[in-house]
Structure 1
């Protein structure tokens, strides 16, 4: 650590952050050094107050599958890693993204689905069969009484 106790060692902090990340996420060993360097550079930039670098449009990421093939009736395919899901929202949370950030990253329209069509239809049918979504104009059926009251002696 440096002699100045107010400023922590960014390399040690980067190692701790990466260790915490790797404990919860799978990552190839070959990518660890690049991740540590990236986190360290970000911490150094934050410590000096330098502005964040903006990725140029030429550095657009390449999707794992084509956008057209990523949407099917039974599942959605994540453009980041190519995995199949019925619902992308929870997977995106594990990647640290919101659906809006995901759509912006890949240039997707606002109506790009986050849930597979067949899955949404099944959930909708289930909710309707339970009586959810019906108006409350109808009076509720009268409640059944419990057991008969005891006769007083």
Structure 2
């Protein structure tokens, strides 16, 4: 098991190097990866686990947004990703009870975008050109 654990730790270490992860996420990921690597090495057929259910109210976080359909973490839920679940952004919002115009992005990115738009003041520039 030590080899599997070591391999899992290397993968999680690389993942943690590119994004912020909580202690719980790291622990969970190491456990799942070690078990998965061991199962593959021993020739077991992995059953496709049902996606973890994500509470839509807790899915939009400060630095990430969780896909309620599969549980994966993103900064932005794109049309391309949602198409893998055969959904459009509009259908996704409706299915999980979000408001129609809610941006499918993490809170920090949403704040940055709002600030940038206020700085650009596009609504004032348009009036001057007429």
Higher helix share: 2
Please state which band the TM-score falls in when normalised by the shorter chain: 0.3 to 0.5
Give the alignment's TM-score, normalised by structure 2: 0.45
Give the alignment's TM-score, normalised by structure 1: 0.40
Larger radius of gyration: 1
